[in-house]
Amino acid sequence: MKDFWSFLLQTLTVSSAAVLVLAAKALFKDKISPRWQFCSWGLVALALLLPAGFSGGYALINWPLLVETAKSILTGEYGTLTKVVAPVPLPVFQSGKNVFDWVYIIYVAGVVCFLIRYAILYLRLRLALRRVKKESAWRGFICEKTEDNEQIGQSGIVKYQQDKNSLVMGNGEQTLRRAQEFVDAVAEKYGLSSCMVLEVEGLASAFICGVFRPVLVLPKGVGTDEKIILHELLHLKYHDVLWGLIICFFRCLHWCNPLIWICAELAGNDLESLCDQRVLERLSGEQRRDYGRILLDMAGGKYAKMPGTSSIANGGKNIRRRIMAIALFKKYPSGMGLVFTCILILFSLPFLVGTKPETALGEESLLLDQDVSVMARARLIRCTTCAGAFDTYAKAVLTGNIPYLAMCAPLGEQNLLAEAYQKDLELGSLEKMALPAPADLLGGYMIYNLTEKEENVWEGFLVLKLSDSLCGKDMREKNEAWFAMQYVRAEKQQDRFVVIPKEEFTSFQADEWILRCPNGEEALPAWCYEDEAEDFVLRLRWQTAASVESQGLDKNGNWLIFDPTPQPDGVFSFYSGYRLSATYTGDPKEKDRYTQVGHVGHVVWDRTKETEDSLRTIVPEGVFGLGKEEPDRSGRELGHGTFSSAGTDGNSWGSSPLKTGWEDEIVFGKGGGGSISLQLPDCYMVELYLNNRLHAKFTLELLEGSWDYGR
């Protein structure tokens, strides 16, 4: 916790765990034994120990939204996200900038004060006990555990039985020795370990003090029952003083949360009830009733609580609750351990795994929420994938929606976006966000030529279709349309991907299918492969594209349409495509001798994995039709990723006729389809056939500098 807001988030998260435990305890109050009653506080401890939202989500209730909204309303700050880095307050070295910084300083001071107060109380008690110990040692009262003493212990238990089940203190030097013997005897009787005993005058009840060198402190001059000693020794055995200290520590951490005080009180009482249960498990018949009577006698009294101690007497009200628990001791259904373990596992899930935060900012939430809440909600939605960030950005541009943009914008820009949203400005009024014309929402988008620049940094061209109204009749007839293009970058900042536009939108006209699949479109940048042989230069333009599948049903549930709701967790579907052309570079007078042209090509993804033979013999079987145009295919092998010119039937290989005076550039065709990755081919092997004879073999290599966009 570094500031007021992170403390607020942490304490609210802990409160939700506390409410869950209190509700479950209320539901199962007569069904859960004290052992499980105490175990259930482990859930609150879990929430106290884990920083709120450490798993990326929230626990049970969407407190982050509430905290962010409150922060934005009260401070006007949108550019930060509240994050709890540690479940304890971290020191603040800077002076308070606003009132909430001062509130946090007061909170930290409160924690320190409480810790010091409890530490002083404990130290004073230890010092007082040390004085008592020194006095006793001076008088030679303290006895070390020896074989003789063990024998004394045996006799002590006999003595205690004679004294009607209680240690009767007398005056004189022997009392402390007898007390030690008595405690040792009780410990031995119940198979427990003993500890040093001290007597203090004016004590209301016995208690255990200290974790590492525990001392059992008994009231001086008052008879202490064996069962009380047993209770305290059980505290010792199960390290209840340590549990008490942990509870005390948590109370200090959340000193201003009354719910935590209530829980600490109840947890302390459950600890005592658990100890009562352990005592009762070791007693039988009349002894149990006696134990109940001892507690009843204490019910009316007032007992001071000290940190680092554990006492049977923990206040009249609490004792009454414990007596109720004792009354139910035998009535709890037995053998319920398994189901309570299952329930605790289930309850701990929201705190361990976290509840998935909102991943969509649908139209409904935009309509229902207030401005501040919408922007808080938007910046809380993390784009967890690069694809999700690009998708969110593209849909923000398509819909002109500022909250969508806030989902994928860097935190530094959130204040600007919030201001624009509150002033009801259009998205286009923001820098680099103006489209040349309204976008065609149903046209969707594509990220062209996506490239990984470094780890978690990707760049590519966002391509959107512009409104159909811009297209003239000619364009429609040619199946062309207007598009907008922008070079954008997605990078990981902290735990979220953000999108940064690198330039303004530019418009261009192109084949309207480019938003379905790339095809080497010339208006868009591409990777170029080239080779020259004989009197031809072969050129191939390679493009990749990616988009998150966004097809949804229309309102009637019938048609698949583009769904403009961002998918911040989205994953890309990849596409790739090419355009192959040959340019004649020979003597123009001689070109008419070529009347037929055809080709066969093969993509080489990784030339290190291909043998020389497979590189040389690229033409696959099966792609050729029968007939005169069939090229020589002796010794050819089946190859993957082969492309070729098609014959007249569209299926078999064939060549195309060349008209007299044909253009220097022959476009063989363009095409593309789904792809499994964005990998660039190593090279292309192409055989050019002229007049149905092999004319030349080409190895098209990636041209250096053909792709230097954004560098």
Residue ranges that bind another protein, judged by CB under 8 A:
16, 19-20, 23-24, 27-28, 30-31, 56-57, 60-61, 331, 333, 335-336, 338-340, 342-343, 345-347, 349-350, 353-356, 359, 384-385, 569, 571
Give the torsion sign (CA, 582, 587, 592, 596): negative
Residue nearer to another protein on the CB measure, 28 or 508:
28
Classify each residue of 48-58 as buried b or exposed e, where b means 16 or more C-beta atoms within 10 Å of its C-beta: bebbbbbbebb
3-class SS at 215?
A: strand
Pick 264 or 548: Cβ nearer another protein: 548
Query: Which one, 39 or 88, has the nearer CB to another protein?
Result: 39
Q: In the complex, what is the shortest distance from the CB of residue 349 to another protein, in angstroms, rounded to a whole number?
A: 5
Residues 6+ apart with CB under 8 A from 293: none
User: Cβ 497 to another protein, closest distance in Å?
Assistant: 11
CB of 342 to another protein, least distance (A): 4
- The CB-side HSE value for 209 (13 A sphere, CA atoms) comes to 25
Query: Is residue 530 a contact partner of residue 701, using CB atoms and an 8 Å limit?
Result: yes
Q: HSE-up of 259 (CA within 13 Å, CB side)? A: 14
d(CA 613, CA 450): 33
Of residues 339 and 667, the one with the C-beta less far from another protein: 339
| Residue whose CB is less far from another protein, 57 or 669 | 57
Is the CB of 109 or the CB of 339 nearer to another protein?
A: 339
Answer whether 609's CB lies under 8 Å from 705's CB: no
Shortest Å distance, C-beta 351 to another protein: 11
DSSP state of 443: G
Question: How near is the Cβ of 51 to another protein at its closest, in Å?
Answer: 18
Ranges assigned E (strand) in 278-406: 309-311
Cα gap 485→582, rounded to integer Å: 28
Burial of 84 (0-12, 13-18, 19+ CB in 10 A): buried
Residue (158 or 327) nearer to another protein, CB: 327
Q: Is 320 helix (H, G, I), strand (E, B) or coil?
A: helix
Between residues 346 and 367, which has the closer beta carbon with respect to another protein?
Answer: 346
What kind and span of H or E run contains 317? helix 316-327
Handedness of CA 3, 8, 13, 19 (dihedral sign): positive
- Name which of 58 and 487 has its Cβ closer to another protein: 58
* CB nearer to another protein: pick between 21 and 406: 21
Can you list the pairs that 64-68 forms with residues at least 24 positions away whose Cβ atoms lie under 8 Å? 64/9, 64/357, 64/380, 65/373, 65/376, 65/377, 65/380, 66/12, 67/5, 67/8, 67/9, 67/12, 68/376, 68/377, 68/379, 68/380
Residue 458 or 527 having the CB closest to another protein: 458
Tell the smallest beta-carbon distance from residue 13 to another protein (Å).
13
CB of 2 to another protein, least distance (A): 25
Beta carbon of residue 31, minimum distance to another protein (angstroms, whole number): 5
Smallest gap from Cβ 265 to another protein, in A, equals 23
| Cβ at position 383, least distance to another protein in Å | 11
State how far the Cα of 520 lies from the Cα of 546, in Å rounded to an integer: 14
- Residue whose C-alpha is closest to residue 655's, from 699, 594, 603: 594
Which CB sits closer to another protein, 23 or 638?
Answer: 23
What's the closest the beta carbon of residue 248 comes to another protein, in angstroms? 28
> In the complex with another protein, which residue's Cβ is closer, 166 or 359?
359
Q: What are phi and psi of 629, to 5 degrees?
A: -80, -5
Minimum distance of another protein from residue 338's CB (angstroms):
6
Q: How far is the CB of 463 from another protein (least distance, A)?
A: 24
Query: Who contacts 627 (Cβ-Cβ below 8 Å, separation ≥6)?
Result: none
- How far is Cα 386 from Cα 459, in angstroms, rounded to an integer? 10
C-beta of 569 vs 630, nearer to another protein: 569
Q: Smallest distance, Å, CB 45 to another protein?
A: 18
Q: What are the CA-CA distances from residue 50 to residues 84, 291, 345 (Å)? A: 9, 39, 16
Q: Give 665's strand partners.
A: 583
**Closest CB to another protein among residues 44, 275:** 44
**Angle at which helices 174-189 and 226-237 cross, to 10°:** 70
Shortest spacing between CB 289 and another protein, in angstroms: 21
The three-state secondary structure class of 329 is coil
Which residue number, 207 or 351, has a Cβ lying nearer to another protein? 351
Rounded to 10 degrees, what is the CA torsion of 142, 144, 150, 154? 10
Min CB(626)–another protein separation in Å: 45
Query: For 661, what's the count of Cα atoms within 13 Å in the CB-facing half-sphere?
Result: 0
Closest CA to 134 of 198, 221, 205: 198
Rounded Cα gap, residues 72 and 51, in angstroms: 22
